[in-house]
Chain A
Amino acid sequence: MEILKKYPKSIQWLFLLIVFFTLCNTIDIPEGYKFIRAQAEHIKDPNQVAYSFLGVEVRYYPYDTLWRLPPFIAWLPIWLNDSMDFLLNDWIPIEIYDAEIQEYETRPLILQITRIISASILFLIQAFREILIGGVETVVAFTSWDWIDANPWAELPGLPWTIVAAAAIILGYKLNGKGLAIFSAITMIYISVFGQWEPSMQTLSFVMVAAPISFLLGMVLGIWAYRRKRVEAILNPILNVMQTMPHYAYLVPIMVLFGIGDHAGAIATIIFATPPMVRLTLLGLRKVSPEVIEAGKMSGCNDFQLLFKVLIPTARRDILIGVNQVIMQCLAMAVIASFIGAKGLGWNLLLALNQLRIGLALEAGVCISLIAVLLDKMSLAWANKQTDYFANLTFFQRNKFGLFFVGSVILGLILAYVGSIMFKQGFNYFYEVPHNKGISTEAFWNAGVDWVWDTFFHSLKIFNTWLIVEVLQPMRAIYLRMPIVATFVLVMGAGYIIGGIRSALVVGGFTLFIALSPWWDRALVTAYMATFGVIVSVIIGTIVGSLCAQHNYSTKIIIAICDILQTFPSFVYLIPVMMLFGVTDTSVLIAVIIYATIPATRYTVEGLRSVPSALHDAGSMSGVTRLQRLFKIEYPLAFPHIMLGINQTVVFALFMVIIGAMIGTEDLGQYILKALSDAKGGGKGLILGLCVAFIGLAVDNLIRTWAEKRKKHLGIA
């Protein structure tokens, strides 16, 4: 009784675990249960049971409901798909004048809307692209194919790479001086010399359209939510789901609505990149101190001035983080969007990965990362720029950047012309280094991979086998062995202990959705991979973070490393691990661990560093040793923040697990990937995405509630 009063929570946890394991042990695996067959496939099998709902027939293997729930929402994806089809193809037909065939035709409203959106985005991307690398379609958009045929000179020639590079360097110099100029130069020259110019410019044009649209959309929504509480209340859950949905999940519905191509990729990217922008805009605006707002009002600002001259600039720090996120997401999506036909580096990278040409993939990956870092730095520098009111400048000084640019255009044109004479045979390297005609280090990397394989094959293989046989397989088996009742008891019990009945219901609701979907077993596999990744990441992250947080210098270094690593698109992480471990679960997991360790480390460092120095002093004066200080003072106080890091780790890990489907896993990701090639996969993709999101949100709910309580307890809320 004494113990029970002293540690009520611990006893509750103990009790919960006892019930959980008893359930696991008493409920046997039903006969005929097979992992692969556990979901509703559309194969006829006499052992299956069927039901029909909303005109959708669902077949499934019936098991004891204590073991697995029947897939009562298996009709939902198909129904969703049918509804989408109906909306797109039959709903409200309207008369449209088609200029090409010069006739009126009927077209459903939604289809017309999506076509207009597609066309305008495609036009923007193409316009950028043709300025950068040439083409005719922008001109065609204003004239016609016939006109172009008659006037072949009208084709946009595209800029020589020297001019684009010079422009980037001048811009870098103007924005932030020498450092950024040098970085621009390195990026541009790397891209060109390695023969990645064309795909890079394609990707760039894609990002130049998607990023500003995401930025604007996110800002507008963020401001709207800031002004109206109700909008925020509606947006919040939507954003939650959107931010935890894996990237793939958007692709199928977008493919259905907007078709395939660069515009579809851009739309997917916009949808994915907008939520963090909304969040950070809102966060930033909320943080503006009321006195600053009052100061603005007392200066006589009207609403418009208050918003654009006071609120937004003051919230700039957070909004800039938003911009950084947008750019990061855009480049991460540049790869994933190539699944639905976005051209550029992503497509090359995907192709190279598929052919297991690691060196080639690496080069494309480095290109994407360089562009990401460059754009990020430029946008940051642009926002930090200030005006000098007192400089009394000459015409030359005022316009020197413009003059330099004009000069570089002339020089570039001359160079391109000289090039066309110099390189009579073959390619004009001063105009554009063609794809695969630049320097390639592929042979080097491939040799490297071969060498790694030759030298470490044995040890890698032993490690790989050991990990799979001794750790991963048993862990997976344990997860699959969980009867559904036991799972519910565990998650809802945890929810109850942490956050009371409300949390229990929320978490239970998320789990129920997955349990009623046809993909419960797959979700378990996803959960097992994510759990493994999270555990290892958290261990590595907290240890590295704790060590680095001990000194100012190492803190700075580790935060800088985290910053850079976070700018890499998630796909890039798959490349080196595939070099080492080939196409196995181990590769995916290691990529997951590397990727998910970033937030774990960052938040640990930030948490430990945010402990007030007065407490350090108080500790020192009480005579604590360094270790005591870490465990008695720093960890307890930093814990809520570290927990938020773990929360991020979970989301990152889930994303990577799903992306890992690219190199073959057996979880939800695989099914999302399958849905991509399924004509009726739209609904499936969405529901699968929701399943992944709900795993993330359930964990998020638990951790967040717990961290909030802890914070309140510590008085740092």
Chain B
Amino acid sequence: MSSTPVIKCESVYKIFGANAGKMLQESNGNVDAKTFQESGCIVGVNNASFEVSEGEMLVVMGLSGSGKSTLLRCISKLTDATSGKIFIEGQDLSALKNKELIELRRNKMGMVFQSFALLPHKTVLENIAFPLQIKGINAKDCISKAMDMVKLVGLDGRENYFPRELSGGQQQRVGIARSLAVEPDIWFLDEPFSALDPLIRKEMQDEFLRLQGVLKKTIMFITHDFDEALKLADRIAIMKDGIIEQLDVPANIVLNPATEYVRKFTQEVPREKVLKIKSVMDPEDSSLELSELNVSKDAIIEEVAEKILSQDKPVPVIDSNKKTVGIVKPSKIIHTVFGARKEDS
């Protein structure tokens, strides 16, 4: 199972326009957005290839119009890709019949939308139960399952409210609960927190991390907020004009931006606030004498910097099982926080 990636894209293109297919064929995979635009086509996704493995959270980040939502819709097959292959758990999406696609969505996929997309005529509970009802589960089971979901997202007591009676954050909780109701393996989130106020957004991000900690889904998360991407992602894909500019773990994106475009995002980012110890740690070296302190590999640098810098010796890094997995030298911290930024600017 672990060998097959849950989501796999092979040079996926999505081009909008009347004769997009023909033009794409003629271009031999070398798509130039400008020439396409001149002939009335708009390039949504340009040669996207990547894999997402089980339990991984891939955050696709890009500004509006960069094609990130289009990419997500190709993978969820809400639109058909113009060319390229998409595999969900090894199944070719384009080969699926309509019925199989519906089955796939009913059992394997959940999606959260930017504008919540709740059904205005249904209560919180009915909205959450909706995918279950669609599946044809009997009313009683639907309701009890939906009630569990209501509790999971902390909306108990409001299950009989209508969406219009809820705040934005609460509405999105409903959206999240609905997408999770069928216990999907793959979870798509299309800018789920973009329409929320900053404070609520932070609260929801923490909530989301808590949920993911429990659920461990395979996730594709779309955002236009680089900080959000850094905070949540296992890996980040940065998109511009339909092209994936860089796909890497957050630390690498911050430390080694692949293109000028990516660098622009990263240069203002305070490293110590986003990088985790694990991204700057060195491998264990038995010859070195270690400090008595230790730090978690998932700690943010800022939180433990003072502790580490107060030591002369390297500090051991431990994982959640208290096992030492590496070391971090105080000099490395200083270099990460101050040195790298100097190079950038």
Report whether A300 and B134 are in contact in the complex, using a CB–CB cutoff of 8 Å.
yes
B13 at the interface (CB under 8 A from A): no
Q: Which residues of B contact A310 (CB under 8 A)?
A: 119
B111 at the interface (CB under 8 A from A): yes
Restricting to B92-125, which residues have a CB under 8 Å from any CB of A? 98, 102-103, 105-107, 109-111, 113-123, 125
Q: Mark A589-609, 1 if CB is under 8 A from B, else 0.
A: 000000000000000000000
Report whether B121 and A316 are in contact in the complex, using a CB–CB cutoff of 8 Å.
yes
Q: Which residues of A contact B178 (CB under 8 A)?
A: 295, 299
Report whether A299 and B143 are in contact in the complex, using a CB–CB cutoff of 8 Å.
no
Report whether A289 and B134 are in contact in the complex, using a CB–CB cutoff of 8 Å.
no
Candidates B117, B118, B133; contact of A294 at CB < 8 Å: B117
CB distance from B4 to the nearest CB of A (A): 23
Report whether A300 and B102 are in contact in the complex, using a CB–CB cutoff of 8 Å.
yes
Which single residue of chain A is at the shortest CB-CB distance from B76?
A: A298
Which single residue of chain A is at the shortest CB-CB distance from B98?
A: A302
Report whether B131 and A300 are in contact in the complex, using a CB–CB cutoff of 8 Å.
yes
Report whether B131 and A299 are in contact in the complex, using a CB–CB cutoff of 8 Å.
yes
Alpha-carbon gap, A297 to B77, bound state (A): 10
Report whether B123 and A301 are in contact in the complex, using a CB–CB cutoff of 8 Å.
no
Which single residue of chain B is at the shortest CB-CB distance from A302?
A: B102
Which single residue of chain A is at the shortest CB-CB distance from B108?
A: A300
B135 at the interface (CB under 8 A from A): yes
Report whether A298 and B78 are in contact in the complex, using a CB–CB cutoff of 8 Å.
yes
CB distance from B3 to the nearest CB of A (A): 27
With A309-B134, A313-B119, A389-B125 as known contacts, state yes or no: A298 contacts B102, CB within 8 Å: no
Report whether B103 and A292 are in contact in the complex, using a CB–CB cutoff of 8 Å.
no
Alpha-carbon gap, A291 to B117, bound state (A): 5
Report whether B105 and A295 are in contact in the complex, using a CB–CB cutoff of 8 Å.
no
With A292-B117, A313-B119, A313-B121 as known contacts, state yes or no: A305 contacts B134, CB within 8 Å: yes
Report whether A295 and B123 are in contact in the complex, using a CB–CB cutoff of 8 Å.
no
Q: Which residues of B contact A305 (CB under 8 A)?
A: 134
B130 at the interface (CB under 8 A from A): yes
Report whether A314 and B119 are in contact in the complex, using a CB–CB cutoff of 8 Å.
yes
Q: Which residues of B contact A26 (CB under 8 A)?
A: none
Most chain B CB within a 10 A radius of its CB, from A294, A301, A316, A389: A389
Q: Mark A391-417, 1 if CB is under 8 A from B, else 0.
A: 000000000000000000000000000
Q: Mark B161-193, 1 if CB is under 8 A from A, else 0.
A: 000000000000001001100100000100000
Alpha-carbon gap, A299 to B110, bound state (A): 7
Q: Mark A266-295, 1 if CB is under 8 A from B, else 0.
A: 000000000000000000000001011011
Interface size counted on chain A using CB atoms at 8 A: 20
Q: Which residues of B contact A299 (CB under 8 A)?
A: 105-106, 130-131, 134, 178, 182
Most chain A CB within a 10 A radius of its CB, from B123, B125, B134, B135: B134
A386 at the interface (CB under 8 A from B): yes
Q: Which residues of A contact B78 (CB under 8 A)?
A: 294, 297-298
Report whether B115 and A298 are in contact in the complex, using a CB–CB cutoff of 8 Å.
no
Which single residue of chain A is at the shortest CB-CB distance from B188?
A: A298
Q: Which residues of B contact A309 (CB under 8 A)?
A: 130, 133-134
Alpha-carbon gap, A322 to B107, bound state (A): 37
Most chain A CB within a 10 A radius of its CB, from B98, B110, B111: B111
CB distance from B304 to the nearest CB of A (A): 41
Restricting to A309-335, which residues have a CB under 8 Å from any CB of B? 309-310, 313-314, 316
Q: Which residues of A contact B98 (CB under 8 A)?
A: 302
Report whether A295 and B111 are in contact in the complex, using a CB–CB cutoff of 8 Å.
yes
Q: How large is the interface on B (under 10, 10 to 19, 20 to 34, 35 or more residues)?
A: 35 or more
Report whether A298 and B123 are in contact in the complex, using a CB–CB cutoff of 8 Å.
no
A interface, over-half SS? helix
Alpha-carbon gap, A585 to B72, bound state (A): 66
Which single residue of chain B is at the shortest CB-CB distance from A309?
A: B134
Report whether A386 and B105 are in contact in the complex, using a CB–CB cutoff of 8 Å.
no
CB distance from B64 to the nearest CB of A (A): 15
CB distance from B104 to the nearest CB of A (A): 8
With A291-B117, A297-B105 as known contacts, state yes or no: A386 contacts B130, CB within 8 Å: no
CB distance from B197 to the nearest CB of A (A): 19
Most chain B CB within a 10 A radius of its CB, from A295, A297, A309: A295
CB distance from B95 to the nearest CB of A (A): 19
Restricting to B242-299, which residues have a CB under 8 Å from any CB of A? none
CB distance from A634 to the nearest CB of B (A): 27
Which single residue of chain A is at the shortest CB-CB distance from B146?
A: A389
Report whether B105 and A289 are in contact in the complex, using a CB–CB cutoff of 8 Å.
no
Q: Which residues of B contact A300 (CB under 8 A)?
A: 102-103, 105-107, 131, 134-135, 182
Q: Which residues of A contact B130 (CB under 8 A)?
A: 299, 309
Q: Which residues of B contact A292 (CB under 8 A)?
A: 117-119
Alpha-carbon gap, A302 to B103, bound state (A): 10
Q: Which residues of A contact B188 (CB under 8 A)?
A: 298
Report whether B119 and A294 are in contact in the complex, using a CB–CB cutoff of 8 Å.
no
CB distance from B162 to the nearest CB of A (A): 9
Alpha-carbon gap, A297 to B105, bound state (A): 8
Q: Which residues of A contact B121 (CB under 8 A)?
A: 313-314, 316
Alpha-carbon gap, A316 to B120, bound state (A): 9
Q: Mark B73-98, 1 if CB is under 8 A from A, else 0.
A: 10010100000000000000000001
Report whether B131 and A291 are in contact in the complex, using a CB–CB cutoff of 8 Å.
no
With A297-B78, A299-B134 as known contacts, state yes or no: A386 contacts B123, CB within 8 Å: yes
CB distance from B44 to the nearest CB of A (A): 15
Alpha-carbon gap, A289 to B117, bound state (A): 8
Report whether A291 and B114 are in contact in the complex, using a CB–CB cutoff of 8 Å.
yes
Report whether A298 and B134 are in contact in the complex, using a CB–CB cutoff of 8 Å.
no
Report whether A294 and B134 are in contact in the complex, using a CB–CB cutoff of 8 Å.
no
Candidates B117, B119, B143, B182; contact of A389 at CB < 8 Å: B143
With A300-B103, A302-B102, A314-B121 as known contacts, state yes or no: A289 contacts B115, CB within 8 Å: yes
Alpha-carbon gap, A299 to B111, bound state (A): 8
Report whether B115 and A294 are in contact in the complex, using a CB–CB cutoff of 8 Å.
no
Q: Which residues of B contact A297 (CB under 8 A)?
A: 78, 105
Which single residue of chain A is at the shortest CB-CB distance from B133?
A: A309
Q: Which residues of A contact B125 (CB under 8 A)?
A: 389
Q: Mark A81-125, 1 if CB is under 8 A from B, else 0.
A: 000000000000000000000000000000000000000000000
Alpha-carbon gap, A297 to B179, bound state (A): 12
Q: Mark B129-143, 1 if CB is under 8 A from A, else 0.
A: 011011100010001
CB distance from B97 to the nearest CB of A (A): 12
Report whether A298 and B105 are in contact in the complex, using a CB–CB cutoff of 8 Å.
yes
Report whether B109 and A291 are in contact in the complex, using a CB–CB cutoff of 8 Å.
no
CB distance from B188 to the nearest CB of A (A): 8
Report whether A295 and B113 are in contact in the complex, using a CB–CB cutoff of 8 Å.
yes
CB distance from A298 to the nearest CB of B (A): 4
Alpha-carbon gap, A578 to B133, bound state (A): 58
Candidates B110, B114, B139; contact of A298 at CB < 8 Å: B110
Q: Which residues of A contact B103 (CB under 8 A)?
A: 300
CB distance from B68 to the nearest CB of A (A): 15
CB distance from B110 to the nearest CB of A (A): 7
Alpha-carbon gap, A294 to B117, bound state (A): 8
CB distance from B220 to the nearest CB of A (A): 13
CB distance from A498 to the nearest CB of B (A): 31
CB distance from A312 to the nearest CB of B (A): 10
Which single residue of chain A is at the shortest CB-CB distance from B120?
A: A314
Q: Which residues of A contact B123 (CB under 8 A)?
A: 386
Which single residue of chain A is at the shortest CB-CB distance from B79?
A: A294
Measuring CB to CB, which residues of chain A are less than 8 angstroms from any residue of chain B? Answer: 289, 291-292, 294-295, 297-302, 305, 309-310, 313-314, 316, 386, 388-389
Q: What 9 A-B pairs have minimum CB-CB distances, sorted nearest first?
A: A300-B106, A299-B131, A295-B117, A291-B117, A298-B111, A300-B105, A291-B113, A313-B121, A292-B117
Measuring CB to CB, which residues of chain B are less than 8 angstroms from any residue of chain A? Answer: 73, 76, 78, 98, 102-103, 105-107, 109-111, 113-123, 125, 130-131, 133-135, 139, 143, 160, 175, 178-179, 182, 188
Query: With A298-B78, A300-B102, A313-B121 given, can you name 17 additional A-B contacts, CB distance below 8 Å?
Result: A292-B118, A294-B73, A295-B118, A298-B76, A298-B109, A300-B105, A300-B131, A300-B134, A300-B135, A300-B182, A301-B102, A302-B98, A309-B134, A386-B123, A388-B160, A389-B125, A389-B143
A-B contact pairs, 9 of them (CB 8 A): A291-B114, A294-B73, A295-B111, A298-B105, A300-B107, A300-B131, A305-B134, A386-B123, A389-B139
